[in-house]
A and B are shown apart, each in its own frame.
Chain A
Amino acid sequence: MTTKLLTALLLGTSILGSAGVAYADDVTLNIESWRGDDLAIWKDKLIPAFEAKNPGIKVVFAPSAPTEYDAALGAKLAAGSAGDLITCRPFDKSLELFKKGNLADISTLPGMENFSDVAKAAWQTDDGKASFCVPMASVIHGFIYNKDAFDKLGIKVPTTNEEFYAALDKIKADGTYIPMAMGTKDLWEAATMGYQNIGPNYWKGEEGRLALIKGEQKLTDPDWVEPYKELAKWKPYLGDGFEAQTYPDSQNLFTLGRAAIYPAGSWEIGLFNTQAQFKMGAFPPPVQKAGDTCYISDHTDIGMGLNAASKNADAAKTFLSWVASPDFATIYANALPGFFSLNNTPVKMEDPLAQEFVSWRGKCKSTIRSTYQILSRGTPNLENETWVESANVINGTDTPEAAAKKLQDGLDSWYKPAK
């Protein structure tokens, strides 16, 4: 079976690899990415804009499926057939590639000065000395709601937990809509749209996240168990058979107008705008008591780096500098509403829903997902276990305390925080 998989991967790479041979005169850059959804935007907007300014450089965007990206990229890099430009996952996945020498050091690349340290943190060595990817975008978590449904039922946008559950109860009592569109089949919905979405309000964003890394807090502390207790309360508000409801099912439930609230990441905006026939709004994760500081997950999600083995390194650097420019940020943020630029230059966005999401940056404190930096380096993998346990908590398989204990035990087995 291993051989079968490997053969498939190798075959795949040989086809993709030969795609670049077509133009012999110009330099052709291949971009590796997991964002197949963005193919049209790259082809119609970004690449033409770049090629117009840089004659002689051709760019090909060659995405693979998100779940296969990391494995496929690893195999291609090992075989030497990977593209010149590599779309970077945040933190350890890319750091690993950098340490292996697959990604080039681009700390001195013109354009890197356009980004804050926080933005660059996801693609730096632990000591912050070397950067290896240009930050492209972050995604913000929150809840997208069906405005028509809220108006019809006379529900105000909830800001506190109490209002949030009152709204859910009201929707459930009315019965027209499923209160919340979320399933646990794909596991990550429960963790990413659930735990990481509402969690920062409880562990106080960066404060809790960094304390966890330093070992001053534990996942079994009340601040970290509390979000699980909230998740457990969501169960009655989910649709029938949510245990077998997949991520696309949830998206469809909401865009077909059958569900009122969708625990979301801002990346949904583009798709929802084209599919939903009703007005949408968004609200940040509700706080515990009125007047509490709000925290949002503003997760650095996507960057782009240079394949150290690239034969067209100069052309690739030109491209990366352009990716770091405000020009790129403006096109990208508007073509992909919901992927927010990390560039220091503010980007003007047209989409109202995207504007709503990005406005929370002003009034709430930003943090990134708690499991991404350092804590998912060992076995068992904290992020993957968080997926499983978050789904277990919602399914009722594990109590919040039991789930937190399992996660902390797993983490303790390999992670020794620096004292």
Chain B
Amino acid sequence: MAAAPKRPFRWHIGVFLAPAVLVYTAIMILPLAGTLQLSLFRNINQSQVFVGLENFRMLFGDPNWSVNFWNALRNNVWFFIIHMLVQNPIGVLLAAPLSSPRLRFSAFYRTAIFVPTILSFVIVGFAWKLILSPLWGVAPHMLDLVGLKSLFTPWLGKEQYALTALSLISVWQFVGIPMMLIYAALLSIPDEVIEAAECDGITGMAQFWKIKLPLILPSIGIISILTFVGNFNAFDLIYTAQGALAGPNYSTDILGTFLYRAFFGFQLQVGDPNMGAAIATMMFLIILGGVCVYLFLVQTRLRRYQF
């Protein structure tokens, strides 16, 4: 019996994959592994000593670290909740009329709403700090014009408002992304489906809720996960608007700023790369956990419609 003809080794697959794998390994996987490794060591007498999970024990066991960590995590969750409750619904609400063929100047609106997303954080942070400034800002002045001056408080300086104010600034900046993704999803709904719905007498709002919304749910899922990853990695806006100490009284401290202070130090605080790496590892695990929950519990249950 003749042996089955041996399939030639398909070397070209390896060759074509190699550049991407190498680049990705060098700039993503190695630093990540380095961070994980760093978190298991501690600097004792100027040399790195392996201490196992000691840094994590300190992060959760020592109140000097754990109080700050839980505070940062709590703030981060609030930051995320605001984005989910405000940014994504507004994104959907903006995309729905934009995708309507009867809307004039839709390209203009689309661009205008998307522009803040491409602005630098530094500009956004600085501009909003000026807008909300009690001294020179336009916010108190404009509220005064409509007779609501009494509603104005120095939001960024008040413990109870600062984090919400910053979350809303971030929402303002990034609302263009969910809008664009949903807009694209809405455009991809075939006309036949819409026509069939119209034949069945489903029009207007009912059409949106019953036909279009279920069809764009996978996009909303993707947006949620992007928001989650983005929010738990956030740092820039808080740092530019409130500084590394994330005042007042750490009320705007999120994991990113907490990591920055631990890793690089701040003012007289000397940076501790090992503790910083431990916090970075926790951030990685939190994000990994969130993404896994999404992939295994949510993604698999979303129905896919084939046309």
Residues of chain A having any CB pair with chain B under 8 Å: 1-3, 5-6, 67, 70-71, 74, 91-93, 96, 99-100, 183-188, 239-246, 249, 252-253, 371-372, 376-377, 379-384, 387-388, 391-392, 395, 397, 410, 413-414
Answer whether residue B155 sits at the interface, using C-beta atoms and an 8 A cutoff: yes
Select B267's contact among A183, A246, A383, A410, beta carbons within 8 Å: A383
Select B64's contact among A240, A241, A244, A380, beta carbons within 8 Å: A380
Residues of chain B having any CB pair with chain A under 8 Å: 27-28, 31, 35, 46, 63-65, 129, 132-136, 140, 153-159, 233, 235, 242-245, 247-250, 256, 259-260, 263-272, 276, 280
Least CB distance, A123 to chain B, in whole angstroms: 15
Q: Are B244 and A67 in contact (CB under 8 A)?
A: yes
Select A244's contact among B133, B266, B267, beta carbons within 8 Å: B133
Of listed B28, B133, B242, residue having the most chain A CB within 10 A:
B133
Residue numbers in A under 8 Å from B266 (CB-CB): 67, 70, 381, 384
Select B135's contact among A96, A188, A249, beta carbons within 8 Å: A249
Q: Are A71 and B268 in contact (CB under 8 A)?
A: no
Q: List 30 A-B contacts (CB under 8 A).
A: A1-B256, A3-B28, A5-B264, A67-B244, A70-B265, A96-B270, A99-B46, A185-B242, A187-B247, A188-B267, A240-B135, A241-B140, A241-B154, A242-B154, A242-B157, A244-B134, A245-B157, A249-B133, A249-B136, A376-B268, A377-B270, A379-B64, A379-B65, A380-B64, A381-B267, A383-B269, A384-B268, A388-B249, A388-B250, A397-B248
Of listed B28, B31, B135, residue having the most chain A CB within 10 A:
B135
Q: Are A184 and B270 in contact (CB under 8 A)?
A: no
Extra A-B contacts (17), CB below 8 Å, given A239-B135, A253-B135: A1-B259, A70-B265, A74-B271, A92-B270, A93-B268, A185-B157, A185-B242, A186-B247, A243-B154, A244-B134, A244-B158, A376-B269, A379-B65, A387-B245, A392-B249, A397-B159, A414-B64
Residue numbers in B under 8 Å from A387 (CB-CB): 245, 267
Select B134's contact among A71, A240, A372, A376, beta carbons within 8 Å: A240
Using known A-B contacts A187-B247, A241-B154, A376-B268, determine if residue A2 contacts B280 with beta carbons closer than 8 Å. Answer: yes
Q: Are B157 and A413 in contact (CB under 8 A)?
A: no
Residue of A nearest to B31 (CB): A3
Using known A-B contacts A2-B35, A241-B135, A245-B134, determine if residue A391 contacts B248 with beta carbons closer than 8 Å. Answer: yes
Q: Are A244 and B243 in contact (CB under 8 A)?
A: no
Residue numbers in A under 8 Å from B133 (CB-CB): 241, 244-245, 249
Q: Are A2 and B156 in contact (CB under 8 A)?
A: no
Residue of A nearest to B46 (CB): A100
Residue numbers in B under 8 Å from A243 (CB-CB): 154, 157-158, 248
Using known A-B contacts A2-B35, A387-B245, determine if residue A71 contacts B135 with beta carbons closer than 8 Å. Answer: no
Q: Are A2 and B259 in contact (CB under 8 A)?
A: yes
Select A71's contact among B46, B259, B271, beta carbons within 8 Å: B271
Q: Are A1 and B31 in contact (CB under 8 A)?
A: no
Q: Are A2 and B245 in contact (CB under 8 A)?
A: no
Residue numbers in B under 8 Å from A71 (CB-CB): 264-265, 271
